[in-house]
Amino acid sequence: MTSSPIRLAISGASGRMGQALLSLLHADGRYELAHAVVSPGSVHDGEPVWLGQGLRYAHDWSRAPVLDVVVDFSGPVGLAAALDHCLAHGIPLVSGTTGLDAALLARLDTAGARIALLRAANFSLGVALLTRLLREAAAAVPEWDLEIVEAHHGRKQDAPSGTALALGQAAAAARGTTLEAAAVYSREGRTGERIPGSIGFAVVRGGDIVGEHQALLVGPGERLELGHRATDRTIFARGALQAARWLIGRASGHWRLEDVLAPPV
């Protein structure tokens, strides 16, 4: 006996991640795309999501059917609307939307008391595992120097990447401090000796690099290197779908992508 497909909605369906999700869903019988929201005037506005299903992109949630989970890769406005719908109907929400203001972050914090939420800056399962390993390593050798190096394509607008910052936050917390207190983002000229306990960041930009992150833990006479290299953007959509499937049926609260992985032995 086979289980029914998961009825899934995508918020931000016309964006790069939204389109990647649609491509995966089209070939995966475990899911049924039940609703797809885009901003009015977006590039795919008014088009069928894919031929044969008859579903068209929507501008809002007013005609959304019964759903099992919502996946959001839109923007602050789109996320706020998706959150309203999820709260009204008790639907789990997976979101990779960034650039949120304090008010929306506060709403998300409060929403965790009512629905299951999973938010991440990077939906690579490999990066989730890297985060777990770095947290353990940073705590195991708290006196070792820690540097985080990241590389992305030349079109990326921000630096360091959100993933690099998330890695730094995980390591800082493991050492009983905060990234705000420990981070060093630039070095130029006569900087003096390295500050003990600091977390340094270095950035590379160029070409079509999808994303690379490396954490260096440097001790006397030895060095530990933990890293992840992405070669295909599809991994982020695949991780988001796996997170959505995992989140269904979970208790209300804030979950991490690390939780989706098998628990450590």
User: Catalytic pick from 44, 59, 156, 254?
Assistant: 156
Q: Is 152 a catalytic residue?
A: yes
| C-alpha neighbours within 13 Å on the C-beta side of residue 84 | 10
**Distance, CA of 243 to CA of 262 (rounded, Å):** 12
User: Catalytic pick from 85, 152, 213, 228?
Assistant: 152
Question: What is the set of active-site residues?
Answer: 152, 156
